[in-house]
Structure 1
Amino acid sequence: MSRIKTKDGTEIFYKDWGPKTAQPIMFHHGWPLSADDWDNQMLYFLEKGFRVIAHDRRGHGRSSQTDIGNEMDTYAADVAELVAALDLRNAVHIGHSTGGGEATRYVARHGKGRVAKAILVGAVPPVMVKSATNPGGLPLEVFDGFRRSLAADRSQFYLDVASGPFYGFNRPGAKINQGAIQNWWRQGMMGGAKAQYDCIAAFSETDFTEDLKSIEVPVLVLHGDDDQVVPVADSAMLSSKLLRNSELKIYQGLPHGMLTVNADILNPDMLAFIKK
């Protein structure tokens, strides 16, 4: 199993498949998951001839269950260390949800000269929490509720999220995918409770406005209009306006976890953007 050790001694687990001479695509997973959440996309793009890389964020999956550095600056710095270790160039960075924030900060602060394009899917930027400057955001009480539920019974909380709003399985007539629910729970429970607790503030309170404004490479912004986790009006709609060179695609009726349950729709759209 492949790992690097960061400057502060944290071990970051990663997968690196495909020809080392091929264009690399690096995937950034959502909270509280792992690189395994990208299995479908990694196999799809590998078959298309790309080199595919996915890592477990610190505190998540098979990386160190650290109690430090569980915030976006360090997440992005960890990615920069991994990218440097693998010497990735002309790379496409694809981030989902919290991973969309991580990818945004990495590309903005560390990616110059190494990044060709980026794709944000159901991503948290510009900022999720409601404030005077972000009146359309979610109240802090929502995220306080996440923290209380995680601390009280993390296992049940993760089952509730996966079987309900994440994949839209709480919608009338939804086709329930029990395997997706169990896999979401499995990934979440692999990580450390402290890191995942801290990450709630990282994904909800970090302001990516200046990061988005500074990114020069083309960015594809994808979002479902039935996203119950990261509402589209206060995320994709705003991010696409802040980015210098963006394309926005909104999917009618699709949920936050559409990369898993609607991979057949999203994968070809991402491929078409990468090949432009």
Structure 2
Amino acid sequence: MSTFITTDGTEIYYKDWGDPSAPVVTFSHGWPLSSDAWESQMFHLASNGFRVIAHDRRGHGRSSQPWDGNDMDHYADDLAELLEHLEITDAIMIGHSTGGGEVARYIGRHGTSRVKKVVLMGAVTPIMLKSDANPAGLPIDVFDGLRAGYLADRSQFFLDIASGPFFGFNRPGAKVSQGAIQSWWRQGMLTGHKNAYDSIKAFSETDFTEDLKKIDVPTLILHGDDDQIVPIAGSALLAAKLIPNAELKIYPGGSHALGDTSKDELNADLLAFARA
């Protein structure tokens, strides 16, 4: 397996596919998944002339499970160390959900000297938590409920999310894929118990407003208007106003899992943006 050790001793697993001399696209996954969640998109772009790189976030997948450091600053710094380790410049950075927050925080902390373009898909930016300053957000009770459900029966909790709102399989007429459900559950169960628990706070309460304002490269924001995990009104519609000259594309009826439920359209959109 391809791994490297961060400065705080965390082992990070990553995939590195395609022509080593080709333009680079990096992928940051959502909670509580791993780089496996991006394989369809990675295969498509690598098959069309790109080098694609995706890592398992600390505490997720095949990376190690540190007790501390399960926050956006550490996630962003791990990504920075991966790019340095592989000597990557001019990367097209793609982040989904929590991974979108990771990409935004990376730019907030490390700038865009290694970044050519950005894609935020179903991203948790600018902030998910409702407050007086963010009335479009979700109340803290939602995230407290996630934590309670997780601690009560983590395995069933993951199964319920995958079987329902994540892919939109709870919608009338939805074409349910048991394979997708099982893959999501498997990835979730590979997370460290505390790592995944801590990440709920990280993805819901971190404010990325100032990070988004620092994105000064071409940016594509993709979001499904039926995203039940990260509702579009409190995320993409706001983020598009904070990032200078960002392009927003809304997928009508799209779920949180565009990489699966809108795979062909998403793959085409990502390839077109990468080639532009």
The residue aligned with 1:67 is: 67
Deviation per residue, 1:218-250 (Å, 9 max, x gap): 110000000000000110000000001210000
Alpha-carbon deviation of 1:4? 0.7
The residue aligned with 1:200 is: 200
The residue aligned with 2:255 is: 255
Alpha-carbon deviation of 1:42? 0.7
The residue aligned with 2:13 is: 13
Q: Does the 8 Å contact 2:254/2:261 carry over to 1?
A: no
Give the residue type in structure 2 aligned to 1:130. K
The residue aligned with 1:156 is: 156
Alpha-carbon deviation of 1:275? 1.4
The residue aligned with 1:125 is: 125
Find the aligned partners of 2:194 and 2:51 in 1 and give their Cα distance: 33
Find the aligned partners of 2:68 and 2:272 in 1 and give their Cα distance: 39
Q: Does the 8 Å contact 2:112/2:217 carry over to 1?
A: no
Give the residue type in structure 2 aligned to 1:29. H
Matched, 1:29 2:29: yes
Alpha-carbon deviation of 1:272? 1.1
Number of positions where the alignment pairs a residue of Structure 1 with one of Structure 2: 276
In structure 2, the residue corresponding to 1:222 is in which secondary structure? Answer: strand
In structure 2, the residue corresponding to 1:119 is in which secondary structure? Answer: strand
Give the residue type in structure 2 aligned to 1:8. D
Find the aligned partners of 1:233 and 1:172 in 2 and give their Cα distance: 22
Question: Any gaps of 5 or more consecutive residues in structure 2?
Answer: none
RMSD: 0.7
Give the residue type in structure 2 aligned to 1:200. I
Find the aligned partners of 1:139 and 1:43 in 2 and give their Cα distance: 38
In structure 2, the residue corresponding to 1:52 is in which secondary structure? Answer: strand
In structure 1, the residue corresponding to 2:53 is in which secondary structure? Answer: strand
Alpha-carbon deviation of 1:75? 0.3
The residue aligned with 1:113 is: 113
Deviation per residue, 1:172-218 (Å, 9 max, x gap): 11110110000000000011010000000000000000000111001
Alpha-carbon deviation of 1:111? 4.0
- The sequence identity of aligned pairs, in percent, is 62
The residue aligned with 1:171 is: 171
The residue aligned with 1:143 is: 143
Find the aligned partners of 2:113 and 2:176 in 1 and give their Cα distance: 43
* Bigger mean CA offset, 16-25 vs 94-103: 16-25
The residue aligned with 1:81 is: 81
* Bigger mean CA offset, 108-117 vs 167-176: 108-117
Give the residue type in structure 2 aligned to 1:108. G
Find the aligned partners of 1:193 and 1:79 in 2 and give their Cα distance: 22
Give the residue type in structure 1 aligned to 2:251. Y
Give the residue type in structure 1 aligned to 2:249. K
Find the aligned partners of 2:195 and 2:93 in 1 and give their Cα distance: 23
Find the aligned partners of 2:89 and 2:19 in 1 and give their Cα distance: 14
In structure 2, the residue corresponding to 1:79 is in which secondary structure? Answer: helix
The residue aligned with 1:224 is: 224
In structure 1, the residue corresponding to 2:14 is in which secondary structure? Answer: strand
The residue aligned with 2:268 is: 268
Alpha-carbon deviation of 1:270? 1.4
Give the residue type in structure 2 aligned to 1:78. D
In structure 2, the residue corresponding to 1:31 is in which secondary structure? Answer: coil
In structure 1, the residue corresponding to 2:157 is in which secondary structure? Answer: helix
Q: Scaled by the length of structure 2, what TM-score is found? A: 0.99
Find the aligned partners of 1:7 and 1:194 in 2 and give their Cα distance: 21
Find the aligned partners of 1:112 and 1:220 in 2 and give their Cα distance: 15
Find the aligned partners of 1:226 and 1:112 in 2 and give their Cα distance: 31
Q: Scaled by the length of structure 1, what TM-score is found? A: 0.99
Find the aligned partners of 1:140 and 1:208 in 2 and give their Cα distance: 17
